Structure 1
Amino acid sequence: MIRAALLSLCLAGSAAAQDAGATARAAAADLEAAAIQLDAAEDARDRVAALTQTVQAFESGLAAMRDGLRNVTIRELELSRKLHAQEAEVAQLLGALQSIGTSADTETLIHPAGALASARAGMLVASLTPALTARTEALKADLTEVSTLRHLQQDAVDRLAKGLQGVQQARTELSQAMADRTDLPRRFTADPVRTALLIAATETLEGFASGLSELSDTPISPNDASIESRKGRLTLPVQGQILRRAGEADAAGVERPGIVVATRPQALVTTPTAATIRYRGPLLDYGLVAILEPQPDMLIVLAGLDTVFGEIGEVLPEGSPVGLMGGEPPNLQAAVSQSGERAGTARPETLYIEVRQGDGPVDPMDWFTTDKG
């Protein structure tokens, strides 16, 4: 029974080691693949699409690496504390094993109470020896795991540093590729004067959205643009976690009909479906805004951006870059810290997403899907 318990403990430790390192190893492979994608993007026919996929691959890999590094760090700390707490027990165990293994004197094998007592003592030692051996193997496995996890930590930190450099390079190249892009079709050309008058005449997002139809004389063909069949299955425009859902009050008690997604600094924002850029620029108290029109009488409002790509009137293919979130790119120290005690501040930026159909807003989660709440 003792042996079974010790064996179970040893196997549990082995499984924990695999779980702690699996995410980090998988993330390392993702970052390696993203680096290869970045090199390949140089010769890609559609450089914007290739760089968009590269940035997203880096973002996914970096997020996974942070989680993996955090798991490895926690597991290594648990084992180190466990071994430290067992120092006295380990010393006693080593003493017992040494005394059993090195005693060769005949008198040590004879019990003072006689032969029967000596036989019983021998049976007791024989039954304890496998248990002591199993315990020794368990301790050896813990020490080996600590060493493995420490090596894995260093490798994860090195790969995290390279990944941070890679994603910044990819974002810079993507911004330049978007600035150089001239192949997007246009539904209409922006009228700066009419747009400025509309902004000056409206005090709410609803009023501005209602007036957007006046800025274009080229409606979208309903037959070509309907996305009703994809309702509830659109991917969120940015990698992040939903911070507030539609109608939930913020810290100031303000309720808005859209959702708020918490993102990492400089996260890439893309269009969830093909859409026309109806507006891009500062708007009211929403900060920098991009308003997309995927189909007639439907608008997707993305607010809180730091950089916006494209021009008003351009038609963006699905998955095209819309902009970047704000914030300073994390350095290695901050990234590693976010994997531990500062994990709650890992997503300091927020993107506001509002969907409007007809004359009013609808719950964005009627359109988007997410596996995280």
Structure 2
Amino acid sequence: MKDVWEVWTGASKERAGTRKDRVASRKERGPSGLSLLPWLLMGLGALSHLLGGEAPNPWLGGLGLLAFNTLYIAIVFRAFDRSRREAPPTWWLLAALGALTFALAIGYGREWLLLFPLLGLAVGAVVRGKERLRFFVFPLVAAVGVVTFWRDGWDSFGVVYGTFISVMVTAAILALDETVRELRETREELARTAVEKERLRFSRDLHDLLGHTLSVIVVKSEVVRRLAPRDLDAALAQVADIESVGRQALTEIREAVTGYREGSLATELDRARDALSSAGIEPVVRRSGPLLEPQTEALLSWVVRESATNAVRHSGASHCEIDLTGSADRVRLTVTDDGHGPSDAVPGSGLRGLRERVAAAGGTLDSGPAPRGGFRVTAELPVETPAPHEGEPTE
């Protein structure tokens, strides 16, 4: 019995949740043609005039009232679909409704004049742009004023005013609702784009971080395996380095997750020198030029990390040069080894991700065979030299 109760209550909660979802979905969609249908009650006066036997040609008036309601319903439902609202049939239907409204008002007068505000609602639902409203509303109101004053004198001023208000208010409310929904869709699209960018950033950071760190750990582990039988102290020193690299990798991964990682170029050059030396590659690091902005240093740090990692993992080189030079407006980083180049220097690799990052910062990144053999990665970036802090030496 308890299981049955839980199943029933669970189903009830699910149905309640479904109803809430449907209500929320309707709210998100905004108003529809149904919201303008209750205003057809304004035509009850014309119907009462027909049924009271006071109207001439009641059958003709009844057919006209039926045609008016049919056209009105068709127009207001089409008005809430942008593609159908802008289609020629909608404008033809609106023109037919206008002609029929004026014909009935001229022919019958009195209560039939209340069809003009309904025409105004239909016009406001279809014509929402400011320029279009200027073109439609004033001629319409002027024509309504002429007909109503002719049929009912000054007592019909409320009809003229009601027609004007129905056009303007309907157009304003529906245009505002459409704008709000467009803004909501734009906001959702921007949110999706931001999520996609963050995923791309995180995947790139994770690739660069783990690729470099694991390569260093593998290289140092091989060194430990070679040193352990003959030099235990040196092997333990390498194990301590592995521990340090692992701890640093954990810190960098946390920073990458939070998005606040700013790489230090000097630190990255030291790590690259250490990783290359551990892999048996002779490193040569040269740096000159002005101080760099943190963002520029962070981006160049990624280039150094990726290039050094590829040299360790793929190049089979014995010599690697890292050369950083800069002027007042641009900085150039070149990493050259005498190996055969990384096997992942193809579209979709870490180098491609770096190329996209550098391009987004207004720079360029080229990679390929060096003129004298080996492999070369060259990155150029615009640089804004920060003012040095007081007492800080410049390079």
- TM-score normalised by the chain length of structure 2: 0.25
- Structure number with the higher helix fraction is 2
The structure carrying a bigger strand percent of its residues is 1
| Larger of the two Rg values belongs to structure | 2
- With normalisation by structure 1, the TM-score equals 0.26
